[in-house]
Amino acid sequence: MKQYLLGVINMETDKYEHILHVEKPNKYKCIGCGDELILRKGEKLFQNFVHKNLVSCGYFKTPTQDQLLSDAKMFLQRLIETNLVTIYKQCSICKFKNRVDLPVFDETTSISMNYGKGKNFMDLVYLDSNNNIICGFEVYDGEPKKIRKTQYPYYQINMLELIYRITRSFATNKIELNCNFKIICASCEQYV
């Protein structure tokens, strides 16, 4: 069975925490049903949660597609808010991964989820102190969505990288994500 790496809500801060970042003394509740959870340190690499009460909730084992997508968005928001993510764009010629410069998140900046409506909808936007959009994030599942014209740069992130194939850098401890959009890097530019 596929094991997804999903998050929980910290009952004290009311914020999302990913299973990779949870701490034993804290109290957590389930995103799917709101029931309190018990953290079990597994024999394997991963710790996992069980519901405190006997509830028929499949959030961790059989999540719906909507729950997976929403968990991935909450995780990405949390990663940006804690400065724990690095985004890369691959060069379509040399295949080298180029790091995207994201501003450092602090008390003046914020993230807004499910921003805007219709064709201006964006999964997450990164806002500066004047609520101007610095950049956006689109989380996709399966087939990437078509590139759109936006007033600001945005990055397209595969949901599976967030809930299943998480890559963590040993050097910086940051989660590494790849934007689906390719670039042509500075050294390859001279050949095109």
Give the footprint of Zn ion on this chain (CB under 5 A): 30, 32-33, 57, 59, 91, 93-94, 185, 188
- Least spacing, CB of residue 37 vs Zn ion, in Å: 8
3-class SS of residue 11 = coil
Q: d(Cα 39, Cα 23) in Å, to the nearest integer? A: 9
- Least spacing, CB of residue 116 vs Zn ion, in Å: 30
Regarding beta strands 85-91 and 175-183, do their DSSP bridges make them parallel or antiparallel, or are they unpaired? parallel
Query: Cβ closer to Zn ion: 27 or 140?
Result: 27
- Least spacing, CB of residue 181 vs Zn ion, in Å: 14
- Token readout for 133 is 């959009």
- Least spacing, CB of residue 68 vs Zn ion, in Å: 14
Query: Cβ closer to Zn ion: 84 or 91?
Result: 91
86 strand-pairing partners: 176
- Least spacing, CB of residue 121 vs Zn ion, in Å: 28
Query: Cβ closer to Zn ion: 57 or 160?
Result: 57
Cα angle 69, 61, 27 (rounded to 5 degrees) comes to 85
Query: Cβ closer to Zn ion: 96 or 152?
Result: 96
Query: Cβ closer to Zn ion: 59 or 137?
Result: 59
Cα angle 172, 127, 157 (rounded to 5 degrees) comes to 55
Beta strands across the sheet bearing 7-10:
16-18, 7-10, 28-29, 36-40, 48-51
Q: d(Cα 107, Cα 81) in Å, to the nearest integer? A: 10
